[in-house]
Structure 1
Amino acid sequence: MKKFFLSLCLLMVSFAAGAQERLPEVILKDIEGRTVQTDTISNNGKPLVIAFFATWCKPCNRELKSIDELYDDWQRETGVRIVAVSIDQAQNVNKVKPLVDQNGWRYDVLLDPNGELRRALGIQSVPYTLLLDGQGNVVYKHNGYTDGAEAELYEKVKEVAGRQSL
């Protein structure tokens, strides 16, 4: 009986280890007011970065500016797509589009004013970055930002892009 129980436990652990985290189904709006269902966000089999930010968060804005400076090269080399998700609350959501326009960010920008997506993913603070592979599985998470952290993110993006081109 002990062997059976141990085997059952090992089997359950192996299934749990094989389960991949994906984006939950949450309905958000983009900065143009269009509805987006988060579990359908994809990049046609290529890497996808989801960057959570807030207009008042200086490290978030530095991260998104740094990535923006390299975004053309990243896209050309890996096909990566970046989606920025603002966690600004409803009273501040009107500050998001001016910030995006002022910085010339070309990312798709979603609004999470009620924190539904943030909570569903267990995100406590921003900046918070997720990297998804071409099948929509979360393969990398990073919380916080220091100058140069975008280089580590890009290395992860290249790893994912390389695995998918095999």
Structure 2
Amino acid sequence: MKKYLTSLLVVLITLNTIAQNDNSSLSSLPEITLKNIDGKDVKLSDYGANQKITVISFWATWCKPCIKELKNMNVLLEDWVEDYNMELVAISLDDSRNAAKVKPTVNALNWDFDVLLDPNGELQRAMNVANPPVTFLVNQSGQIVYTHTGYVEGDEYDLEDHIKELVSD
């Protein structure tokens, strides 16, 4: 009986996580304006309107897997930009209490990509992001074509395979 209840609990938690992370209804980027780490307004949908492949990664300063994922993507970014005409933008989910930590973190890690702030969670809600890290791949026409939740070492190469598919289409 204990095994049955444990199995049932695991199934229910899994289904709940899937339901919370259902971003499949999204087809394009929402019309939301955020600030970058220098305080400049940036319209998110502009990333999908520039004929480039765009990777959007939701992260937070307190999320160790997020930092690891973005560090690893940053290492590959120069080649990705050259090979696939793409860009990477990271969306910080740090709330207003932690937002001051974002710019020092980005500068300390020498990240070479845009970082936007979503301190009120407006974009997070619009894109159905429950917990970071969550990565979206946007094609050259501005359509969201792939979503990945979580991070384990090597996921960036799986993402690159999805990027390659967009270039070969």
For normalisation by structure 1, the TM-score amounts to 0.84
SS in structure 1 opposite 2:97? helix
Partner in structure 1 of residue 102 of structure 2: 96
- Paired residue for 1:135, among 138, 141, 151? 141
Partner in structure 2 of residue 161 of structure 1: 167
Partner in structure 1 of residue 60 of structure 2: 54
Larger Rg: 1
- 1:32-88 CA-partner distances (Å, limit 9, x unpaired): 100112222236312100000000000000000001111111111101100000000
Partner in structure 2 of residue 33 of structure 1: 39
Matched letter for residue 137 of structure 1: Q
Partner in structure 1 of residue 89 of structure 2: 83
Q: Which moved more, 1:32-41 or 1:106-115?
A: 32-41
CA contact (8 A) 1:43 1:81 kept: no
CA positional deviation for 1:20? 6.7
Matched letter for residue 37 of structure 2: I
SS in structure 1 opposite 2:99? helix
CA contact (8 A) 1:46 1:133 kept: yes
Taking only aligned residues, the RMSD between alpha carbons, in angstroms, comes to 1.3
- Paired residue for 1:112, among 98, 109, 118? 118
Partner in structure 1 of residue 29 of structure 2: 23
5+ residue gaps in structure 2? Answer: 1-24
For normalisation by structure 2, the TM-score amounts to 0.82
Runs of 4+ in 1 over 4 A off after TM superposition: none
Percent identity for Structure 1 against Structure 2: 43
5+ residue gaps in structure 1? Answer: 1-18
SS in structure 2 opposite 1:42? helix
CA contact (8 A) 1:31 1:97 kept: yes
Matched, 1:67 2:73: yes
Write the distance in 1 (CA, Å) between the matches of 2:133 and 2:124: 11
